Structures are given as C-alpha cells and as structure tokens.
Homo-oligomer: A and B are copies of this chain.
Amino acid sequence: MTRYGFVGLGIMGNAMATNLLKAGFQVTVWNRNPSRCDSLAALGAQVAESPRETAAASDVTFAMLSDPAASLEVCFGSEGVLRGIRPGCGYIESSTIDAATSRSISEAVKKQGGRYLEAPVSGSKKPAEDGALIFLAAGDESLYQETAAAFDAMGKKHLFLGEVGQGARMKLVINMILGGMMATFCEGLALGEKSGLDGGLILEILDAGAAANPMFRVKGAPMLKGEFPASFPLKHMQKDMHLALACGDELGLPLHCTATANEIYKQARAAGSEDEDFSAIFQVIKQR
C-alpha cells in the first residue's frame, strides 16, 4: 500500500492530511511548528523531523505551503524534500505557486529520479475539511493515476490538465471568473438598493433563477450587513486578477471586464480592505 507524506499543516494542510488518515492511509507528516502535528499523530500519523525525512519515509509526498518562498525552502533546503526523495517516488505540490516556481521544482525532482505533479486546489477551508476540494493536476500523468485514491479521500474531483503550469493557469481562470462575477454582483446589489429594492429579495430572486450560485448564496447576506469575513482575502483576488491580465497580455487577448474589475479591487485595497474577503469590494462599489 502506498505510503503518503504530507508537509505543511496549516488550515488547509491539516484538514487534508486528516482526511487521508481517516480514509485509512499510512501518513508521515511534518510541519515547521511541530505542535500542528499532534492532532494528526492522535489519528495515527508518523511525525517526521524534516521534509527530507518525510520524503524518505514516503512513496508520495504532498506539500501544502503558504507561498512560493516556503515551497522553494521545503524543496531545496538543506533538510529539504530533494535530499530525501528516492527514484520513482512522487512529489505533489498543492500550494498555490506560479508556473516558474513549479517548473523549477519539477526539474529538480526529476533530476533526482522522482516524479512531480502540481495539483493546486479549488476550494478553501470548508471544502478542505469536508473532503470536497477540486484538484487541478498537471505534470507526471502516471503519478496522477496512481494517486487517485488519495485525491478521492481529500476531494470531490480531480482532473489532469497536461504539462506543468496548466494547473496553475486553470486556477487563475477560475479565480478571475469568480472575481468578475463578484464585481458584477456588487453593482447589481448597489443599484437595487439605491433604487429602493430590498437586498434580501434581490438575493432570493437571483437564487431562484439562472444566475443562482453558491458564492452569491453564501456571501450575499453578510455583504448586505457590511460583513466580509475573509474566506479568500481581497488582496489575493486582486493579485489573481492582475496575473490573469498579464497572461492575456502575453497571449494578445484583451480582457476589458477583468481590467475594469481589477481597478475596483485595487481601489478597495487602497481603501483598507485588503485583508477582508474579496466581497468587500461591495463597499467601494456602493460608495459606502
């Protein structure tokens, strides 16, 4: 049976590793702050001293880290994954990293005889806990196939998208659509409320029609109350809008709506909402 490793046990990683263990897999875990390992050890996880040790003890190691710098350190560091990975073993990066970082890790892993997959996820805290993430995988297809059972334990869907970089790109496309939809939603709500319509009724009617979607359903009511608890921080959404525009730039594709929405997200950041949920652009759109 495949032995799994998991490095990075933040909000997302902890929930994901928990689901792997609950599904009956053998899992070795590591986290910079080791106290995050306790709940997993209680579920039967082995606790390693380093990324190197984790990779050495595992057939396939998952990483779920906070940013590209952490990904590079965990991979290339003196006690990093590259020092422990054995030929034929797999390394799966689920952190949200740019294509260039992903490619440099991919090349280093392959040079050691390992196999690499990028597998960023669509979904945040709640789907991670519920085993309802969507994995956007790209890279080594054989590794993807062999890891199906683990993806099933942590997610409701997993897809193979081709060469390294395509997983990151798909995530960008999904996020820019979410970002644009939110901006449009806010303009509609603002116009409705200024027209004297009840915001709650607007939400109810939207939810009964062709536009009905989980995002409007979950975020709409708090937005009307001026509450924007961060599920996906506004500054991250603005960064993704920016990256999508840069990608369109490279490909010669004008993206008028995305460019317009991006400026509004920038305005919201400047107005101090960068750490609030991205739905906080409602505040600048309705002009408070």
Q: How many residues of A contact B (CB 8 A)?
A: 73
A156 at the interface (CB under 8 A from B): yes
Q: Say what secondary structure dominates the interface of chain A.
A: helix
Docked-complex contact A192 and B209, CB < 8 angstroms: no
Docked-complex contact B156 and A169, CB < 8 angstroms: no
| Smallest CB gap from A286: residue in B | B253
Tell me the number of copies of this protein. 4
A215 at the interface (CB under 8 A from B): yes
Please report the C-alpha to C-alpha distance between residue A249 and residue B252 in the assembled complex, in whole angstroms.
21
Please report the C-alpha to C-alpha distance between residue A13 and residue B177 in the assembled complex, in whole angstroms.
35
**A123 contacts across to B, CB distance below 8 A:** 209-210
Instruction: State the A residues within 8 Å of B (CB).
Output: 122-123, 134, 136, 156-157, 159, 161-162, 166, 169-170, 172-174, 176-178, 180-181, 183-185, 187-192, 194-198, 201-202, 204-206, 208-215, 218, 242, 244, 247-249, 251-264, 266-267, 269-270, 286-287
Please report the C-alpha to C-alpha distance between residue A260 and residue B180 in the assembled complex, in whole angstroms.
12
**A269 contacts across to B, CB distance below 8 A:** 252
Docked-complex contact A173 and B157, CB < 8 angstroms: no
- What are 15 inter-chain pairs, A to B, with CB distance below 8 A? A123-B209, A159-B204, A166-B196, A169-B197, A176-B191, A177-B185, A177-B206, A190-B253, A191-B255, A209-B214, A248-B266, A253-B266, A256-B256, A256-B261, A259-B263
